[in-house]
Structures are given as C-alpha cells and as structure tokens.
Amino acid sequence: MRILIKDGRVIDPGRLDDTADILIEDGKIIEIRPDIPVTSASRLIAASGKIVSPGLIDMHVHFREPGEEYKETIESGCRAAAHGGFTAVCTMPNTQPVNDNRQVTEYILKTASRCNGSRVYPVAAISPGLKGEGLCEYAELKEAGAIALSDDGNPVRNSLLMRRALEYAGGVGLPLISHSEETDLSAGAMNEGETATRLGIPGIPNAAESIAVMREIALCELTGVPVHIAHVSTAQSVHAIRDAKKRGIPVTAETAPHYFTLTDKAVDEYNTHAKMNPPLRSEADRNAVREGLADGTIDAIATDHAPHSVLEKEVEFDRAANGVVGLETSLALSLALVREKVLSLSQMIEKMSVNPARILGLETGLKIGGSADITIIDPEHNWTVKAEEFQSRSRNTPFEGWEMKGKAVLTMVEGIIVCSIL
C-alpha cells in the first residue's frame, strides 16, 4: 500500500524545513517533494497546517513488565508512547526481575514485537540486580538486543566499578547512561529549600546530583568513553556538563519536561504526584535547565515516564514512590518551550528525535529509502490533561487539569499508523 502525507510542514532538523509531501511504500519513504499527485497513493493523509517530523524517540521510560504489570505493561506503555507521538522508546532495566541478562532482554523484545505501538529498545543493567557490585555480561546483552546500559533508579556508587563499566561498554560499543546521585547526600524526599522546610520534609541538596555528574565527567575524561547523563535537574549539573563539552569530553545529557516546567513549589500540600528522583528544584535551576536546552548543553528531552499506582502514591509523602508518567504530556510541554522562544521547533525536534538517535546509534530522519517512522503534530490543538483518559495504566501526573496546546495527531512506525486522531 502507498500512503501520501500531503502539504505538511516537513521538518528534518538541519536538512529540511518546508512544505512538502511524503510518499510511503512498504514501510519506507520513497519520495519527498512538493506536489506529489494524489493518484500515486491509495491512502491520503492531509497534513496542511501540521508539522511532519521524524518519529519522536523517548530515550528514558520505565515500563513495569516483567514484574509490576498493574502499573504498566509493555503493551500499555507502547500505546501510551504512540499516543504521545513517540515511535520509539528505551525501557530502563529496573523491572522485576531486573533486565540484567539475555532472557529478560529477549522477553521484552518478543513481547514488544506483538504490540501495536512504538518500537521498544531495552536498556540493560550495568550491574547484576542494579546492586553496583559487579558487571553484567555486556557482549551477551548486546547480542540479545540491548541498546544501552544503565542502573537507572540506582547510581553506581563505586567509582572503580563505573570505570570498568565504561571500559567494558566502550569495548563492546554500548552507550552508558548514568543515574547521577550521591546517595550519602540524597537521603531526603524532596528538594532542599524553603518549601521542604515549611512542609517539614527532609531535603535533597543540588550537590547530591552535581557531585555525581562531576564524577562521571571525570571518568568519561579518564576512559575516553562517552557517558550520557540522565534526568538533569540542577544548575550545577548544567554548568559542569557545559564546561566538559567545551573541553571536548564526550558527555551528553537529557532532562525531562517536569524539570523545565515545574519547581519544588508543585510539592505544596504534600502532592505526591510531584515527587520524583531527582526532585523538582528551584526556579533558578529550572531556568538553568532551560538555558542548557537552548545552548545545546542538554542534548535530549526524555520523559523518565515512571508509572506508579495509587497504592504507591496515595500514602504519606516520605513513603510515596518516586516518579511521574510523562509519555502523553511530553510533546505539549516541549511545544510550550517553542512558544516561549526557548527552543526553535527544529531544535525541539532535534532533542526529541535526532539527538537521542545519535546518542544511541539508532536510525532517524526523513530520508528516501529510510523507514517511515513519522510523527504528525498539530501545534494548535487545544486539550486538557485528564489522566483517566491516558493509555498508560497509571495516572500519576502532576499536570492533571492543565490546558495544553499541541498534540501528536498521527504516529507511524515503519509505515503502519499506530495512533491517529486525524
């Protein structure tokens, strides 16, 4: 079957930003130009007034299968991703059991292959059980289909082990993603500051993150192996990464929409839907994260989609689980950065597609002969966040009731429409 996407604003960052048509056959893009005749296709998608982008990639999500399927299955997660405009997601290994061996990696890939949603790329663990006490079999995990390594959720406390992990990962060619946290300093439940003091909640200082970021930069410099820093939340981390990049150290970084949208004030009244790790920070940190996005210090926007049920969230603040769902609100919150002139549309697409693909070695872009992984975005679509309507099995969002502008109206994976509200 041939599909024609007509009259959209086609943006492929750095290569193309123009009104054009895209013709797709057998899952591949076969033509991109203006005025492709409608008779060339059996299915027409009218995209006038819409943005046609390379498929968005979320390089940091938590699906809860195997082990906690009541929070999110691979199937529900893939559907939530497709609804959010993502054609691919990278799933973190803190499942039960942990994805630290080839059986779990293969299980995730096999289950995902039966789902009608985004692609799934499993991230495997750095250390068995995420315990930080030894190294997994990276060569075997890569062969099984893992695309990166991370102990996300837990830091690798031992610097020698992290050095060895980098050397081994570099040797087999698997990118390494760091959850940067100095746990001796991070024993609180929210950001250290005025709100924490007022609420009587023990605080987590910025240094709990930035000390660990600085160590990863030092190890990256020592080994020459690239390190990707997950969920950057503080000004000091942004400064350290900016400085490292200036010195030519191969470090990359991501942040999440909640860090550039909210501050720790969202925790007021002990709102556990504003509890995550790292925590929401101050206004100054939020601004520094925005500056880091604008000047390229922060390469990627990833959601850290972390579904939890009411069982883990409707409890005392200090006992509540860390994490928020993000797949179905990320694009609208990122488009707000474009309206606020923090990013151009092309830069936003870069951070949600091209750069994650580059960091992870995945295919991306709108190229003749390339896979038709495409997201069509309506930047004017007004909608209200209603968690009960999420495709995700969990509803733990701090954005309930927010008025949003902009939505993915069609998501296509290898020429197959996995979600459409057109």
Could you tell me the smallest distance in angstroms from the CB atom of residue 177 to ligand DOR? 11
Q: In this chain, which of 304, 328, 373, 378 binds Zn ion, going by CB under 5 A?
A: 304
**Residue 152 makes contact with Zn ion by CB under 5 A:** yes
Q: CB-based burial of residue 256 (10 Å sphere; 0-12 exposed, 13-18 middle, 19+ buried)? A: buried
Supply 412's token pair: 């296509």
Could you tell me the smallest distance in angstroms from the CB atom of residue 153 to ligand DOR? 4
Task: For residue 254, give the 3-state DSSP assignment.
Answer: strand
- Cβ closer to ligand DOR: 288 or 302? 302
**Binds 126, which of ligand DOR, Zn ion, none (CB < 5 to 8 A, cut-off by type)?**
none
- Cβ closer to ligand DOR: 153 or 203? 153
Segment interacting with Zn ion (CB under 5 A) among 119-127, 238-246, 264-272, 302-310: 302-310
**Binds 322, which of ligand DOR, Zn ion, none (CB < 5 to 8 A, cut-off by type)?**
ligand DOR
H/E stretch holding 8 reads strand 2-12
Which of the residues are catalytic?
304
Rounded CA gap, 387 and 396, in Å? 8
Segment interacting with Zn ion (CB under 5 A) among 31-39, 149-157, 244-252, 328-336: 149-157
Cβ atoms < 10 Å from Cβ of 255: 27
Closest residue by Cα to residue 408 from 61, 52, 63, 72: 52
Backbone angles phi, psi at 382, to 5 degrees: -95, 135
Residue 33 carries which DSSP code? E
**Binds 236, which of Zn ion, ligand DOR, none (CB < 5 to 8 A, cut-off by type)?**
none
- Cβ closer to ligand DOR: 234 or 277? 277
Closest residue by Cα to residue 219 from 158, 174, 277: 158
Contact indicator for 296, 277 with CB cutoff of 8 Å = no
**Residue 254 makes contact with Zn ion by CB under 5 A:** no
Positions of E strands within 108-196: 119-124, 148-150, 176-178, 190-191
What counts of helices (H) and strands (E) characterise the chain? 13, 18
**Binds 82, which of Zn ion, ligand DOR, none (CB < 5 to 8 A, cut-off by type)?**
none
Supply 422's token pair: 């057109």
Closest residue by Cα to residue 274 from 402, 403, 399: 399
Contact indicator for 275, 320 with CB cutoff of 8 Å = yes
The residue assigned the tokens 């998501």 is 411
Q: Applying CB under 6 A, which residues contact ligand DOR? A: 62, 94, 152-153, 179, 276-277, 306, 322-323
The residue assigned the tokens 């909608």 is 383
Contact indicator for 188, 196 with CB cutoff of 8 Å = yes
Cβ atoms < 10 Å from Cβ of 246: 9
**Binds 323, which of ligand DOR, Zn ion, none (CB < 5 to 8 A, cut-off by type)?**
ligand DOR
Could you tell me the smallest distance in angstroms from the CB atom of residue 51 to Zn ion? 28
Could you tell me the smallest distance in angstroms from the CB atom of residue 92 to Zn ion? 5
**Binds 175, which of ligand DOR, Zn ion, none (CB < 5 to 8 A, cut-off by type)?**
none
- Cβ closer to ligand DOR: 70 or 403? 70
**Residue 285 makes contact with Zn ion by CB under 5 A:** no
Could you tell me the smallest distance in angstroms from the CB atom of residue 184 to ligand DOR? 17
**Binds 111, which of Zn ion, ligand DOR, none (CB < 5 to 8 A, cut-off by type)?**
none
- Cβ closer to Zn ion: 53 or 255? 255
- Cβ closer to ligand DOR: 195 or 347? 195
Q: CB-based burial of residue 162 (10 Å sphere; 0-12 exposed, 13-18 middle, 19+ buried)? A: buried
- Cβ closer to ligand DOR: 50 or 62? 62
Residue 198 carries which DSSP code? H
Residue numbers at the binding site for Zn ion (CB under 5 A): 152, 304
